[in-house]
Structures are given as structure tokens and as C-alpha cells.
Amino acid sequence: MGTLLTEPVAPGTAPLRGTRGRRPLRRDGRAGWLFLAPTLIVLGLFMVLPILMALWVSVSDWTGNGSPFSSRVNSVGGDNYAALLTEPGLTRQNFATSVRNNGYFVLFVVPLQTAFALFLALVLHQKKLKGRQFFRTAFYFPTVTSSVAISVVFLFLFSSTGTVNAALKLFGVDGPSWFADPRGIFHLALGDPANPPSALVGHGFLGLSWWDWLSGPSVAMCSIIVLVVWTSTGGFMLMFYAALQNLPPSVDEAALIDGATAWQRFWRVTLPQLRPTLFLVLTLGLIGTWQVFDQVYVLSRGNPANTTLTPAYLSYSSSFIGHQWGQGAAIAFLLFVVIVAFTLVQRWALRERR
Amino acid sequence: MLPRRTVAAFAAAGLLLPLSACGSGFDDSARPATQQAGPATLKVMIAASGGAELKAMQDAAAAWSSAGGGSKAEVVSANDLPQQLSQGFAAGSPPDVFAVDATKFEGYAAEMLPYGDALSYKDDIYPTLRKTFTRDGKLYCAPKDFSTLALAINTDDWTAAGLTDNDVPKTWDQLKTVAQKLTTGGRTGLVFNDTRDRIGAFLVQAGGWAVDADQKKATADTPQNLQALTYVRDLLASGTAKYPKQIGAGDSSEAFGQHKASLSIDGNWLVGGMKKDYPNVKYRVVALPAGPAGPGTLSFTQCWGIAAKSKFQEQAKQLVDSFMQPQQQLAFAEAFGVIPSRQSVRAQYEQKFPAQSAFVAGADHAHGPVTLGKMDPVLTDFDAQLQQLPGADPKRILQQLQQNTAAALGQ
């Protein structure tokens, strides 16, 4: 995770390098490498090597029996990637479905959790707020609780006769059977037409029609979205809260003297100062949401109708259940590419404009 | 040019790669495992349905261990059997003996010792179970036990609706009629899970199935299957049948036990579950009604796999033999409600567990599951389509299943 963030540059690094001579640098370098060696070995053994092995598996026909480097394992080139991206069939369709589902998941979760986290942090930051300690703990509590335990609680809340539907009934709304409803909410907003426009159904991308791409998250996925927003907001709130505490009050006071309204002060003064934290929260949010797995594993395993299938879960099920290890590894690497791409786009969008 | 530290990191990784590849964990699995005689410690892995099953297995293993020979067997229950087995095979250290689910059988066959044909009691095993675990003419493993589907009836609802013994449904039409009569405001007539493992029974009753007998050809898009799915769709559309999740239950047993439905298509695990969780619900179990092609139900089974890589295959065979003894099979049946896989204990079993007789009777016309691992995503997709009944078009579901199956079988 951390490797994708901009590394903080230690102050004073650049001038030091300039003043030093070449020979002492080399001697220091040798000692440095010696001290680094244990870390390098550990990282190599437990990070670089497994990643390289997975990369090999993703272009091989390994069946999960014995070593992937044995002589019986052959390279299949880009076949595993081709099955996911270019060859028509169930594999490509499932992959596209998982990307669509996760795309909507990211689209809803990241803005929601960031906005809620910022809102809660601002509330906590109010000087007048009493019992701040209590609220800080209360808001953070879901984040420290095991995601599996929370998922099980949500299973009860969102069961078709559960608390959520009971509450909806008070308002005369007949709640859906949340985890069994595969209908996309955008389709539902359109009245779930029986005959969708043929221009959208007839054409598509990656084996999924445009109509399917535009379905929106399913009702089942929405309950997972609610769950994840609820659990992750607390952690991000803490980051915003820490950043807010560190802002110099004088800037805010200066704006106040200049006659800025509360809204202007937030929008023009506080928020720009929070940019580094915002970047951190969005990046962590993007990475975390593209990797969503535990909740899917516990709650739905991709059901109903594959609408909660995510690439991370598909990678797991292809490998461990379907014995298609190459394909599972290929999905993992494609997911990696997607995450890097999204992070770069986000970094570009939030760059400091001069 | 790359920064020096990057180069160094790659160099370090490059050094490590061949080093670890020579390590003991990376032996070439093409070599057969050297067999060791004498006392062994066998690892046995199952996916226990609950504490009762695990304890019964551990007791049986302990009995075998103390019977002489000096070998010992340790039974563990996996949280996620496919995952843990996969890890074992990948690492080259699988458990010696493990439970293999029929639906995953083909995926493991390459890593299993095909010992079934040498069993002295081979012909005593139900033919449908033997067929499930046979591949290329070889019986790979001893079927552990099995379960079938039948129809559970809530007897209080049944009499309250004015139904008698004569109304027990024998045909699809009769099933529809009684389900209609049993559907009241707050209660659904019939409930069954939304997967191929229940709805597949209707396919069998109509004379269809997803693949042909040899699992070489896709046979999904047939009039028989269409008839079955259309019937199921109509049941669901009329509201006389519902999926468990539509009425707020995790599965059909729960819906039946919580009295949200009066009829349920279920396996014989229902008997144990009802006794434990809903002891006050009065019910009886009858055979599933016959379809246009006659009676039909599904069987679910596991077998005792022995790892091809095990160093103690002889000892493992002896352990499996002890698990397969008639008295031991009856003991397992008593402990966790499965049906023995040997026909010779059928009479004894039925006498001891009369509530299970409808399930045992199903063995005569039960259809085993698809055992090809590569069909797994295809059938998962089929399930996904079935979940959308009654809104979906049965014909399109079957066409899609046909197409995907054909692709998976390489037709």
C-alpha cells in the first residue's frame, strides 16, 4: 500500500550529497548496504520473490500441484490474460462483471466515506462539542472491529425480515430482500424496463452489453457499500481530525477578520490546507475498495447473480475453487494495473496547480 | 539508467530466486512418492458439518489407531476444505486421507491414488455413487456416505388445509395444487434453494441434465430441460413457491423450521437440523413427485481420497477400510445423519432411522452431480441465472448454459 504514496523526502538530503566526496560515500554505502541486508533479504523472500512467482504462474499452466517451477509446468504466454480480456466466453464475462461491480463499489464508497470522514472530523473539531472523547471512540469503533464480525451483524440487519426492513415498514416502504436482489439500482431508477433500448443491449465491451455496464450496483451490493462506508469512515476520520488539529488557528482567524463566512472559511481556507490528507485518504480509499474481499467472502460469495463478484474474490475462486491458478494470478495482476492507473489519475487530478 | 538501489534490490531478488528454488519445498512432483512401511502418523482432513461429525470421525480414527499396527490417525476439520487442500497440494504436503466432494472430484483426481477398484466391497457400494467417482474407467476412491433430496411436509399445515394422505403429491401437477392450497397470507406453500442443487432435480424428473452421461457433451438446451425450468418458473411466478431469501431465511431448512413455508425440498440433513433447532415442528418426509420422465432426485456425496503423494498409502487404505466397515458406517449415520454408501446396511439403516426412508429410497433413481472442475464457473453462472427466475427466460438460460458448457468441455 505505502509504496504507492509519495515518500516524504528527508530534509537536508540534497545539500549533504553535494558536499560529500566520492570515496567516503562509497565506504558509507558499503556499511549502509550491510545494515540494509536483513531487510532486503526479508523483503526479497517474502515480497519480491512471491510477486515474481505469481507473475510466472500468471503466464503458465500450473495446476496447483507441486512446484510452479517443475519441468511439467509450461508457459502458455498471454493465454490467461487473453481469456480475461479478448476471448469471448464466460471467463471474460465474469471478469468484466467483477470489474463493473467493483467500479460501482469504488464510485460510491470512496466519495461517501471521504465526505463522511471529513464531516465527522469537523464535528469533532468543534471547540464547543461536549463529550468529544466519547464521540471520537464511538465513531472510530466500527473500524477497529473485525470486518467479519460486522459482516455477520449486517447479514441480520439486512435480512428480508431484518431491522432495516422493519424500519422501512414504519414509513410504509416494502424493503427488498437485500442480499438476494440482483437488480441494479440504475435499472430500478428507470423502472426496471423489460425491454431495454436495443442500442445498449446489442453492443458492449468485454462480453457485457452497455446496458449491463450501466446497471449500477445491485441492491445486494448497496448493502455492502453501506457496510464498508460505515466501517472505514472512522479510520479516515481520525486522519482528518489529526490534520485539523495541526492547522494553525491564525489562518482561520485572519479569514474571520477579513469577513469570510463559515462556509467560505471551510471551502477556501480549511479544505485547501487539508489537501495532503485528502490525497492520503482518497488514495488509501481507492486501493482498499478495489481490493474488497472479506465482506464479499463472508456475505455473498459473489451472489446474487454475480452482482457482488469482485476481481479479488474472482481471483480467489478461480485459483482455489476452480483450480485455474494461472487465471487467478492474471486477475490479480490486472487488478494491480487498475489500482495503479486509478492512483495515478487521482494524483494528477489533485496535483498542486501553480 | 535505473537508480543504483533499484538495481541492487533486483540483484538481491535474483540471487534469492534460484536459491529458494533448490530448497526442499520445490521438489519435482512427477516422481512417485516413496512408500514407507510400518507405523505411520496419518493426517486426515474433512470438512465437518459440525462438532458431531468431527467427534465421530476422531473417535473412529482413535479406534483404528488403538486396534494395533502402531499407526495413528489425526482427524482435523478444515474451515475451507478446497482452499486448504489446494494449499497442501501446492506445497507438496497434502493430508494423507481427505474428504473429496463429488462436485470437485475431477479437479483433485490427478492428485489422488486410484485405489477404488481393489476394494473387496466395491460391488456393495450404490452404483450411482460408484459412477460419480469413476474417471476413465477407474474407481478413484471409496464413497464415504451420501444424501438425497426429498419433500418435507409440515403435517399441522397439511391437516389444517384439509389435505389427507391421498393428497401427497405424486406428479408435478399435484405438487402445484397442494403448494397452492398451503400458500396463505403469511406463509409460502413450497420453498427450495435457488441453485442447481435443488432445481436440478426437476431437470432429472423431466429427463434432462446439463451434460450427457459421460460428461463429454453439453445437453443443456433440450425440450426436457425447458419443460422443467418453465415449470419451476411458473411455480415461482404464481407465488406458491419461493426462494428462501425472498421470505427472510438463510436456506430452505431454516424457512421450513421457522414455519415460513409448509413444504420444502431438502436433503436428509434436514432430519438432524430439525431435531436440534426446531424440535416442536411436526413434519414428515415423502419422495419428490415424479416428473414427465418419472421419479428423480439428486445425490450429494463425498469420498475418501488418498493423496498420490502420501508416503503411507497402504496404511491409508487400511484406515479407509476401517471407516467403510458396515458397523462404522451405521455409527457415522447415527452421529451426523448421513446415509451409508454400502447397500448391505440399507435394511438395518432403514429399520433404525425410519424418518430417513424417503431419502434412502431416492438412491434408486438419484442423479450424481457434475464432477468436472472446469464446469464450476459454468454452473455458478447457471445458479446466477436461476436466481433471477421467475423474471428470466428459461430458454435463454438454457442456451447460455449450453454455450458455456460446450466451451468448457472444448466441443
- Tell whether B157 and B110 lie within a shared domain: no
pLDDT confidence tier of residue B24, bands split at 50, 70 and 90? very low
Query: What are A's interface residues with B at a Cβ cutoff of 8 A?
Result: 33, 40-41, 43-45, 48-49, 52, 63-67, 69-72, 89-91, 94, 159-162, 177, 179-180, 182, 302-306, 318-324
Q: Which residue of A has its CA nearest to B384?
A: A305
Q: Is residue B235 pLDDT above 70, yes or no?
A: yes
Helix axes A132-144, A90-125, angle to 10 degrees: 170
Q: Does B28 touch chain A (CB under 8 A)?
A: yes
Query: In this predicted structure, what is the pLDDT of residue B246?
Result: 83
pLDDT confidence tier of residue B25, bands split at 50, 70 and 90? very low
- B6-24 mean pLDDT: 45
For B327-357, write each residue's pLDDT tens digit: 999 998 888 888 899 999 998 898 988 888 8
- Tell whether B122 and B60 lie within a shared domain: yes
Q: Is residue B402 pLDDT above 80, yes or no?
A: yes
For A46-88, write each residue's pLDDT tens digit: 989 989 988 998 988 887 777 778 777 888 888 889 888 888 8
> How far B276 CA sits from the closest chain A CA (Å)?
21
Judging contacts by C-beta atoms under 8 Å, the chain B residues touching residue A305 are 384-385, 387-388
pLDDT confidence tier of residue B237, bands split at 50, 70 and 90? very high
Inter-chain contact A305–B384, Cβ cutoff 8 Å? yes
Candidates B6, B17, B197: best to mutate against A (most CBs of A within 10 A) is: B17
Query: In this predicted structure, what is the pLDDT of residue A332?
Result: 92
Number of domains in chain B: 2
Name the percent of chain A lying above pLDDT 70. 91
Residue B354 makes CB contacts below 8 A (sequence gap 6+) with none
Question: 3-state class of B2 per DSSP?
Answer: coil
Q: Does B13 touch chain A (CB under 8 A)?
A: yes
Tell me which residue range forms the domain holding B160: 149-297+371-408
Query: In this predicted structure, what is the pLDDT of residue B3?
Result: 47
Q: Which residue of B has its CA nearest to A39?
A: B9
For B367-391, write each residue's pLDDT tens digit: 988 888 778 888 888 988 898 888 8
Greater confidence (A20 vs B220) lies with: B220
The amino acid present at A233, given as its one-letter code, is T
Greater confidence (A147 vs B319) lies with: B319
Per the domain annotation, does B3 fall within a domain? no
Query: In this predicted structure, what is the pLDDT of residue A354?
Result: 59
DSSP 8-class letter at B126:
-
Query: In this predicted structure, what is the pLDDT of residue A24?
Result: 57
- A139-151 mean pLDDT: 82
If you average pLDDT over every residue of chain B, what do you get?
Answer: 85
CA pair distance A9, B33, nearest whole angstrom:
55
Q: Is residue A15 pLDDT above 70, yes or no?
A: no
* CATH architecture entry for A95-158+218-349: Orthogonal Bundle (1.10)
Among the partner-chain residues B12, B17, B388, the one whose CB lies closest to the CB of A305 is: B388
Inter-chain contact B373–A323, Cβ cutoff 8 Å? yes
Per the domain annotation, does B7 fall within a domain? no
Closest residue by Cα to residue A161 from B144, B250, B198: B250
Inter-chain contact B246–A177, Cβ cutoff 8 Å? yes
Helix axes B172-182, B223-238, angle to 10 degrees: 10
Judging contacts by C-beta atoms under 8 Å, the chain B residues touching residue A320 are 80, 82-83, 86
- Tell whether B56 and B202 lie within a shared domain: no
> How far A253 CA sits from the closest chain B CA (Å)?
46
- Reading the block at residue A267, the C-alpha cell is 471551502
- Tell whether B114 and B248 lie within a shared domain: no
Greater confidence (B91 vs B168) lies with: B168
For A175-193, write each residue's pLDDT tens digit: 777 777 778 888 888 876 6
DSSP 8-class letter at A7:
P
Per the domain annotation, does B6 fall within a domain? no
For B211-234, write each residue's pLDDT tens digit: 988 888 889 999 999 999 999 999
Name the percent of chain B lying above pLDDT 70. 92
> How far B325 CA sits from the closest chain A CA (Å)?
31
Beta strands in B192-318 (DSSP E): 241-242, 261-267, 283-286, 297-306
Residue the block writes with cell 389435505: B163
Q: Is residue A313 pLDDT above 90, yes or no?
A: yes
Closest residue by Cα to residue A334 from A49, A50, A3, A55: A55
Among the partner-chain residues A43, A64, A90, the one whose CB lies closest to the CB of B381 is: A90
Q: Is B187 left (phi over 0), alpha (psi -120 to 50) or beta?
A: beta
Query: In this predicted structure, what is the pLDDT of residue A290?
Result: 92
Q: Domain containing B328 — which CATH number?
A: 3.40.190.10
The whole-model pTM stands at: 0.78
Those of residues 100-139 in B touching chain A at CB distance below 8 A are 104, 107, 110-111
- A103-116 mean pLDDT: 93
Judging contacts by C-beta atoms under 8 Å, the chain B residues touching residue A44 are 9, 12-13, 16
> How far B251 CA sits from the closest chain A CA (Å)?
12
Q: Is residue A16 pLDDT above 60, yes or no?
A: no
For B148-206, write each residue's pLDDT tens digit: 999 999 999 999 989 989 999 999 999 999 999 999 878 999 999 999 999 999 999 99
The amino acid present at B146, given as its one-letter code, is F
- Helix ranges (H only) for B258-345 are 269-277, 313-324, 326-336
- Tell whether B35 and B101 lie within a shared domain: yes
How many contacts, defined by CB atoms under 8 Å, are there between A and B? 123
Note the ipTM here.
Answer: 0.71
For B259-289, write each residue's pLDDT tens digit: 999 999 999 888 888 888 899 999 999 999 9
Per the domain annotation, does B2 fall within a domain? no
Query: In this predicted structure, what is the pLDDT of residue B32?
Result: 62
As a dihedral over the C-alpha atoms of residue A194, residue A198, residue A199, residue A204, rounded to 10 degrees, the angle is 80
Inter-chain contact A49–B17, Cβ cutoff 8 Å? yes
What distance lies between CA A145 and its chain's CA centroid? 18
Question: 3-state class of B40 per DSSP?
Answer: coil
- B92-110 mean pLDDT: 87
- Tell whether B187 and B97 lie within a shared domain: no
Per the domain annotation, does B166 fall within a domain? yes
Give the residue extent of every domain in chain A.
Answer: 95-158+218-349
Measuring CA to CA, how many Å separate A132 from each of A137, A230, A245, A299, B261? 9, 19, 13, 34, 50
Q: Is residue A223 pLDDT above 50, yes or no?
A: yes
Name the percent of chain B lying above pLDDT 90. 37
